[in-house]
Chains A and B, each alone.
Chain A
Amino acid sequence: MNNQFYTARDLNFGDIIFMLKASLTTIELTIIAIAGGMLLGVLVGIGRSSSNVILRVITKMYVELFRGIPILLQIFIFYYGLKIFNVKLPALFSASISFIFNVSANIGETLKGIILSIPKNQWESSTSLGFSKFSQLWYIIMPQVIRSAIPPSIGIMVGLIKDTSLASIVGFVELTRAGGLIMSVTMDPFKIYLIIAIIYFIICFFLTQSSRWLEKKLII
Chain B
Amino acid sequence: MNYQFDFSIVSINLSILLQGAANSIIISLVSIVLGFSLGLIFALLRSLNIKAIKYFIICYVELIRNTPFIVQLFIIYYVLPRIGIYVDAYPAGIIALSLNCAGYATEILRAGIESIHESQIEAARSLGMTYFQIFRYAILKPALITIFPSLSSLFITILLGSSVLSAISTPELTSIAYSITAYKYRHFEIFSFIAVFYLIMSNTLSIIFKYLEFRFLSIEGKQSILKFFKNVLIG
Contacts and interface: CB of A to CB of B under 8 A. Distances in A.
Contacts of B71: 165, 176, 193, 196-197, 200
Q: Could you say which interface size class chain A belongs to?
A: 35 or more
Interface in A39-54: 48, 53
Contacts of B72: 197
Nearest to B72: A197
Contacts of A162: 67-69
User: Binding site of A, secondary structure by majority: helix, strand, loop or mixed?
Assistant: helix
Given A165-B71, A176-B70, A190 B191 contact: no
A86 B1 contact: yes
A193 B74 contact: yes
B62 interface: yes
B233 A85 contact: no
Contact of A80 (B62, B167, B187, B199): B187
B79 A193 contact: yes
Main secondary structure of the interface of B (DSSP, over half): helix
- Taking residues whose C-beta sits less than 8 angstroms from the other chain, chain B's interface range is 35 or more
A25 interface: no
Contacts of B65: 204, 208
Contacts of A168: 70
Nearest to B76: A193
A80 B74 CA distance: 25
Nearest to B79: A190
A166 interface: yes
A124 B188 CA distance: 49
A119 interface: no
Given A80-B187, A189-B74, A69 B79 contact: no
B161 A201 contact: no
A80 B178 CA distance: 12
A197 B187 contact: no
Contact of A200 (B67, B82, B160, B233): B67
A86 B1 CA distance: 7
Given A70-B198, A84-B1, A84-B3, A64 B203 contact: yes
B188 A80 contact: yes
B70 A56 contact: no
A196 to B, nearest CB: 6
B49 interface: no
B166 interface: yes
Contacts of A64: 199, 203
A166 B167 CA distance: 9
B128 interface: no
Interface stretch (A16-24, A71-79, A132-140): A71-79
B23 interface: no
A212 to B, nearest CB: 12
Nearest to B153: A67
A105 B187 CA distance: 25
B195 interface: yes
13 contacts: A65-B199, A68-B202, A72-B163, A72-B166, A73-B191, A74-B195, A85-B1, A165-B68, A165-B70, A189-B74, A196-B71, A197-B63, A200-B66
Interface of A: 1, 48, 53, 56-57, 60, 64-65, 67-74, 76-77, 80-81, 83-86, 158, 161-163, 165-166, 168-169, 176, 183, 189-190, 193-194, 196-197, 200-201, 204-205, 208
Interface of B: 1, 3, 62-63, 65-72, 74-75, 78-79, 82, 160-164, 166-167, 174, 187-188, 191-192, 194-195, 198-199, 202-203, 206, 233-235
